[in-house]
A and B are shown apart, each in its own frame.
Chain A
Amino acid sequence: MSNLLQIKNIRKTFPGVVALDTISLSIARGEIHTLLGENGAGKSTLMNVLTGLYRPDRGEILLDGVSIQLNSPRDSLAMGIGMVHQHFMLVSAHTVFENILLALEGVPNFYSRRTYRQKVQKVLDAFELDLDLDSPVWKLSIGAQQWIELIKLLVRDCRLLILDEPTAVLTPQESARLFQVLTRLRDQGKSILFISHKMREVMEISDRVTVLKKGRSLVSLSRGEYDESRLASLMIGEDQIPMWIKPACKYEQLALEIKNLSARNDRGLADLDNFNMKLYRGQILGVAGVAGNGQKALAEVLTGLKEASSGRILAEGRDITNSTARSSYIAGIAHIPEDRKSIGIAPDMTVGDNLIMKNFASRAFRRWIFQDRAAIRRNASAKINEFAIKAGPDGNPVRYLSGGNIQKVIIARELSEKPAVLVALYPTRGLDIGSAEYVHKVIIDGANQGMSTILISEDLDELLKLSDQIVVMFRGRLVGCVDPQATTREEIGLLMSGEVQS
């Protein structure tokens, strides 16, 4: 097998950050090459270099042995390099047809609508996708959007396909189908660069694996040269991962009950549709579902960021849906939001200020109407020690911290008031394994002390490991409730796809 693409000593820095230090790897024709690495290892940056979005500071890229310059996505596409991005590059207000049309090559300015509609329809048929060409993309499921993103590449006849964590938003069944397609493309001689941090998938599909760590390419291994534990230890180093012991939930005292709750989104569609759920004291309730099926709305209604259009929320038997008691109830809820940088913190304020944001008016942090800076600093250093936050110099703005440390700041703040209920939305998304384990420990410790947790996650392994019970959401409804000890990934997957109800 000859090499299609060779990357030599690529380096890319952003102001204050070395995203890629030295990366070298080669991709052969007709292979599925996986890039493995923790978040922050530089996987996505490398992809953006290959697609011409970022210009490397240094290093060389060879295609068919010839050195090439990639100054824009246009150049990359011309070389036959295409990518499915992690955040889809789709125009949500445009139709399926318009999104695919823009990716097609050689479309004249005054194109024949009929000819090109037939062309696009033929591609959809080839993948057995039943999509309405005139439907705007925002109306489609995330899974369907992933397919459109892939089709945008396939219509261009790319030689190298790059997929950045394509299975993050798919059900296990959809992922299996995607893998079939990828294998077929590989057998047709195309090269595929696949990014993932799900070990299961890496083992299943890769012909070769390159491990990245802290912006460096550590090693490339061919199939047979690696196994799961070897890759894991390469990826995270030699650190032992501790296992936390989870208490069994007693199901005695009801903490929260949600009855027939509905909520609408900005477009007037139902985000939550007649949703019912019970949460007990000390319980960790896992919520599974493909992203965009109402999980965010559930968290927002519970934490008071969104109004319910109908239904009731009972806290320890008291109806607090729209009563004046709502604000005091919300005060007892901790919220780990999905988008930590935009709603979890005030990025330009210091770590210390961010830590007291929930209780800045408390007597502990003020003297008359003035802030007590000394008390705020004492609180900050106590929390930084307790949660092992790498906060940098005193007075450092939070935005300079890494994702894992920002998450720790949020958790430290949210748990400081000993909340009764924790609503955690994708709390370990984008964190490295060490930080993720820390988040798990905090949740389990909380459960030991009687805190109830609603854990919304798309990582089934995390849900299976932590939850006392897993409920599955589909299109704003609760479609199933399973026991993590007795269920299988397949069962949850089927519930997530909305094909069955339990």
Chain B
Amino acid sequence: MLEILLDATVRAGTPILFATLGAIINERAGIINLGIEGLMLIGALAGFAGTQASGSLLIGVVAAFVAALLAGSIHGFITVQLRGNQIVSGLALTMFGIGITALFGRSMVGLTIAGFERVAIPGLSGLPLIGKAFFNQDLLIYFSFFLVVAIALFFYRTRWGLALRTVGENPAAADTCGVPVILTRFLAVAIGSGIVGIGGAYLSLATTPMWIENMTAGRGWIAVALVIFASWSSYRALAGAYLFGGITAMQLRFQAMGTTVSVHILQMMPYFFTILVLVISTIRLQKGASQQPENLGQPYDREDRK
């Protein structure tokens, strides 16, 4: 029972995990991205269409990454190069994503593909309790484990990672050290957006291998909240995403058991917890536990006189 619940937790948490990791890369470079929901939808549709057309899941994932990267580049260009308002641009990106996927997704409705299959890791998958949940999963989930560690190492053990964090904290300091601020910020937005797209593709290639209009159902917004909950750390993003995965898995379980509690109340739980998490992490922020990039949301203009 617990084993099944844990397995469902990981599977429900993974799309949110990818989205949160991508958003963390954006925000670490100082750019708020409220377009996560739209990017996930674009990734979901591009991933499904790519696989449907080619028959290859890998091509589907790459298509999702590239499509979301391109869509995210619009946000990057507006906020980094043109120094536009990040909130407005992000919201526009979400609406753009919802609209364009509804339009181009119409022909995909009802089609099916062969989604990701489970691949057991010999030895580890036999572990009691966690073996099945963590080591008998599909390749995208293994990739998400890799990404969590890789992003942490990138931030804290590489020079590029240091440059990325510096443009988010104090772009003027980065500039005077010779770091190309505009390019760094733009690339962070583009690549982060691409990773968000993979989160969307997980929904259409693994969770339910088909395209359903608006299939992200607000998961992008949960990711936006989780970035704060995770204090911009990829390890805590993993914990946060699985917390939400767990709540989702549990409410599905309750539904399946046929409780008398209304389905709508149960479906509300993940979003209710989003609000709770925001309250808790905002209180923590105010108490000074923050890792929030100092220049988050601030455009950088070299000749701005302060």
Residues of chain A touching chain B, judged by Cβ–Cβ distance below 8 Å, are 14, 51, 53-55, 72-74, 77-78, 83, 85, 87, 89-94, 98-99, 101-103, 107-111, 113, 152, 266-268
Contacts and interface: CB of A to CB of B under 8 A. Distances in A.
A91 B287 contact: no
18 contacts: A72-B180, A73-B176, A74-B180, A85-B176, A89-B170, A90-B173, A91-B169, A91-B173, A91-B294, A92-B170, A93-B294, A94-B169, A101-B159, A102-B166, A103-B177, A108-B159, A152-B177, A267-B288
Interface of B: 157-160, 162-163, 165-166, 169-170, 172-180, 287-288, 291, 293-294, 302-303, 305-306
Contacts of B160: 109
Contacts of A92: 169-170, 294
B162 A101 contact: yes
Given A83-B176, A87-B306, 10 more contacts: A53-B175, A55-B303, A73-B177, A77-B177, A89-B173, A90-B173, A92-B169, A92-B170, A98-B162, A152-B177
Contacts, number: 78
A108 B160 CA distance: 9
A268 B287 CA distance: 7
Contact of A90 (B170, B178, B306): B170
A54 B303 contact: yes
A93 B293 CA distance: 8
A14 B288 CA distance: 38
B175 A73 contact: yes
The 4 closest A-B pairs by CB, nearest first: A89-B173, A74-B178, A267-B288, A91-B169
Nearest to A48: B303
Nearest to A55: B303
A113 B159 contact: no
Contact of B176 (A14, A89, A108): A89
B303 A53 contact: yes
A83 B165 CA distance: 22
Contacts of B169: 91-94
A308 to B, nearest CB: 18
B180 A91 contact: no
B165 A94 contact: yes
A78 B178 CA distance: 9
Given A91-B170, A109-B158, A102 B177 contact: yes
Nearest to B160: A109
- Residue among B180, B287, B288, B291 with the most chain A CB within 10 A? B288
Contacts of B174: 102
Nearest to A264: B288
A110 B173 contact: no
A267 B286 CA distance: 9
A78 B158 CA distance: 22
Contact of A268 (B163, B166, B288, B291): B288
Nearest to A93: B169
A85 B175 CA distance: 12
A78 B179 CA distance: 12
B302 A53 contact: yes
Nearest to B302: A53
A157 to B, nearest CB: 14
Nearest to A97: B162
Contacts of A111: 158-159
A94 B174 CA distance: 12
A73 B174 CA distance: 10
B285 to A, nearest CB: 10
Contacts of A113: 157
Contacts of A98: 162
Contacts of B165: 91, 94
B157 A110 contact: yes
Contacts of A77: 177-178
A110 B158 contact: yes
A14 B143 CA distance: 51
Nearest to B163: A102
Contacts of A107: 159
Contacts of B173: 89-91, 99, 102
Nearest to B180: A74
A13 to B, nearest CB: 11
A266 B292 CA distance: 13
B179 A102 contact: yes
Contacts of A78: 178
Nearest to A103: B177
B178 A73 contact: yes
B168 to A, nearest CB: 9
A108 B293 CA distance: 24
Nearest to B170: A91
Given A107-B159, A110-B158, A14 B177 contact: no
Nearest to B288: A267
A471 B177 CA distance: 39
A397 to B, nearest CB: 16
A74 B294 CA distance: 23
